[in-house]
């Protein structure tokens, strides 16, 4: 039983060639990776593809895990980078940009209230530039500003600034509605 073992320990074992540890780790983090992928891209299909990419690359990438950073911090950086990567590829660009469109969300929304809320969410997320959206999603994970800074490769101050900017934009959005 390895249920009590930390992510980091599992990752190091996997990095050292332990297949069982790798499998266990992957099932542990799979849903988190997918959820983050969805929040970053706003598209279920995109998130599925992204998660698949990451699964395939993880055996190789894990060897780069040094056990000092929290596994989640490390992993989130992998996800964020992979999302960047996908966005850069011209083919999927249009799709990714439309990601936070309302089709996907509205379809799943049942009650009117929920639909309205989701519509608002899509609008809010779409209104944010990619980098702000990324920061937001990571902070809400929740991660500390320092971790987010590390993941995004920016300074902590920039994270804080971005968060204030996001709040401001949300406020502006609200004012625009009323």
Partner 1 sequence: MSDEFDKLAQSLRAATPSPDETRKAANIAEAEKIFAASQGSRDSARQTLERPKRGVLMRGLDVMLKSLSPRAALGATTAIALVGVALILPTLEVGAPEVVRDVPKPVSSMDAPLEEALATPRQKSTGTATGGLMSMEPAPAPAPSADFEFEVMNVAPGGNNGTVRMYSGQPAAELGDVQMRAPLVDQFYAPESTSEAYPEAETNPLKVTVEDPVSTFSIDVDTAAWSVLRNMIEAGQLPAPETVRIEEMVNYFPYDYPAPGEGSAFRTGVTVADTPWNAHTRLVHIGIQGALPDVEDRPPLNLVFLVDVSGSMDDPRKLPLLKQSLRLMLGELRPEDEVAIVTYAGASGVALEPTRAGDRATILAALDGLGAGGGTAGQAGLQEAYALAEKMSEDGEVSRVLLATDGDFNIGLHDPDALKEFIADKRETGTYLSVLGFGRGNLDDALMQALAQNGNGMAAYIDTLSEAQKVLVDQLTGALFPIADDVKIQVEFNPAQVAEYRLIGYETRALKREDFNNDKVDAGDIGAGHQVTAIYEVTPVGSPARLTDPLRYQATADAGSDELGFLRLRYKAPGAAESRLIETPIVEGSETTDDMRFAFAIAGFGQLLRGGEYTGQWDYGDAVALANGAKGGDPFGYRAEALRLMRLVGTMAE
Residues 66-125 that bind partner 1 (CB under 8 A): 66-70, 74, 77, 81-82, 84-85, 88, 105, 108, 114, 117-118, 120-121, 124-125
Nearer to partner 1, 89 or 94 (CB): 89
Phi, psi values for residue 89, rounded to 5°? -65, 125
- Are 41 and 47 in contact by the 8 Å Cβ rule? The answer is yes
Cα separation, 175 vs 42, whole angstroms: 24
Show contacts with partner 1 in window 10-29 (CB under 8 A): 12, 14-17, 19, 22-23, 26-27
DSSP 111: S
Residue 168 structure tokens: 């401001």
Show contacts with partner 1 in window 31-60 (CB under 8 A): 31, 34-35, 38-39, 44, 47-48, 51-53, 55-60
- 174 touches partner 1 (CB under 8 A): yes
- 172 touches partner 1 (CB under 8 A): yes
- 170 touches partner 1 (CB under 8 A): yes
Cα separation, 3 vs 7, whole angstroms: 10
The secondary element (H helix, E strand) that includes residue 67 is: none
């Amino acid at each position: 039983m390895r249920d009590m073992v930390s992510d980091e320990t599992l990752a190091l074992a996997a990095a050292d060639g332990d297949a069982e540890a790798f499998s266990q780790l992957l099932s542990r983090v799979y849903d988190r990776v997918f959820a983050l992928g969805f929040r970053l891209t706003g598209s279920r299909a995109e998130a599925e593809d992204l998660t698949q990419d990451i699964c395939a690359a993880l055996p190789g990438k894990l060897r780069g895990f040094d056990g000092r950073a929290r596994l989640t911090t490390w992993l989130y950086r992998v996800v964020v980078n992979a999302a960047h990567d996908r966005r850069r590829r011209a083919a999927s660009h249009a799709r990714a940009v439309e990601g936070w469109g309302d089709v996907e969300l509205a379809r799943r929304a049942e009650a009117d209230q929920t639909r309205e809320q989701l519509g608002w969410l899509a609008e809010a997320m779409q209104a944010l530039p990619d980098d702000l959206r990324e920061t937001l999603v990571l902070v809400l994970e929740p991660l500390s500003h320092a971790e987010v800074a590390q993941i995004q490769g920016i300074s902590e101050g920039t994270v804080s600034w971005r968060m204030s900017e996001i709040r401001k934009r949300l406020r502006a959005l609200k004012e625009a509605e009323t």
